[in-house]
Structure 1
Amino acid sequence: MSGPAKLCVSNQKGGVGKTTIAINVAGAISARGHDVLFVDLDPQGNATENLGLMDAYDDEPPTLFDCLTDPEHRETVADIVREHEEMDVIPSNIDMTAAEPELTLSRRSGEQLSLVLREVEDDYDYVIVDCPPNLGNLMDNALFATQNVLIPALAESTSKRAFELLFDHVDALEYDYEIDIHDRGVVVNRIDVRKTQAREMVEWINAAFDDVPVWQIRERADVQKALDAGVSLLEFNPECDMCEVFRDIAADLDEQFGIEDVEVQA
Structure 2
Amino acid sequence: MAPPEKQAEPEELNDVKQPATLAVSNQKGGVGKTTVAVNVAGALNQRGRDVLLVDLDPQGNATEGLGFADAYDAEPPSLFDVLTDSEQRGEIKRLVQDHAEMDVVPSNVDHHHTEREMTHVRRPTEQLSLALEGIGQHYDYVLIDCPPSLGHLTDNALYAAQNLLIPALAESTSKRAVELLFDHVTSIERDFDISIQERAVVANRVEETNEATEMLDWFARAFDDTPRFEVRKRVALQRAHSAGTSLFEYDPEVDMCDVFLDIAATLDEQFGLPPAETAPAREAR
Please indicate the TM-score interval, normalised by the length of the shorter structure. Answer: over 0.9
Map of 2:112 onto structure 1: 97
Residue type of the alignment partner of 1:180: S
Q: Which amino acid aligns with 1:234?
A: F
Matched, 1:22 2:28: no
Tell me how far apart the structure 2 counterparts of residues 174 and 93 of structure 1 sit (CA, whole Å).
29
1:107-161: per-residue Cα shift (whole Å, max 9, x none)? 1010000001011110111100000000000000000000000000001001110
Alpha carbons 2:49, 2:279 under 8 Å: kept: no
Contact 2:166 2:201 in 1 (8 A): yes
CA offset at residue 261 of structure 1? 4.1
- Secondary structure, counterpart of 1:110 in structure 2: helix
Name 1:83's counterpart in structure 2.
98
Deviation at 1:181, TM superposition (A): 0.4
The correspondence for 1:142, drawn from 157, 177, 186, is: 157
Q: Encode CA deviations 1:144-201: one digit per residue, 9 max, x unaligned.
A: 00000000000100111001000100000000011000000100000111x1111111
Residue number in structure 1 paired with 2:128: 113
Q: Secondary structure at the match of 2:124?
A: coil
Match of 2:272 in 1: 258
Aligned AA (2:74): D
Which among 178, 182, 185 is matched to residue 200 of structure 2?
Answer: 185
Partners of 1:55 and 1:8 lie apart in 2 by 25
Structure 2: which amino acid aligns with 1:260? P
| Residue in structure 1 matched with residue 71 of structure 2 by the alignment | 56
Q: Percent identity?
A: 60
CA RMSD after TM alignment: 0.9
In structure 1, the gaps of 5 or more residues are none
Give the counterpart of 2:258 among 236, 240, 244: 244
Structure-1 separation of matches of 2:19 and 2:33? 22
1:40 pairs with 2:55: yes
What is the TM-score of this pair, normalised by structure 1? 0.98
Measured after TM superposition, the shift of residue 262 of structure 1 is 2.0
TM-score using structure 2 length? 0.92
Q: Which runs of 4+ in 1 moved over 3 A?
A: none
Number of the residue aligned with 1:204: 218
Give the structure 1 partner of residue 177 of structure 2: 162
Which residue does 2:246 correspond to in 1? 232
State how far apart, in whole Å, the 2-side matches of 1:142 and 1:153 are.
18
SS, match of residue 184 in structure 1: strand
Cα distance between partner residues in 2 of 1:197 and 1:261? 37
2: CA distance, partners of 1:76 / 1:11: 28
Hey, what's the Cα distance between the residues in 2 that align with 1:148 and 1:204? 22
Distance 1:115 1:204 in 2: 37
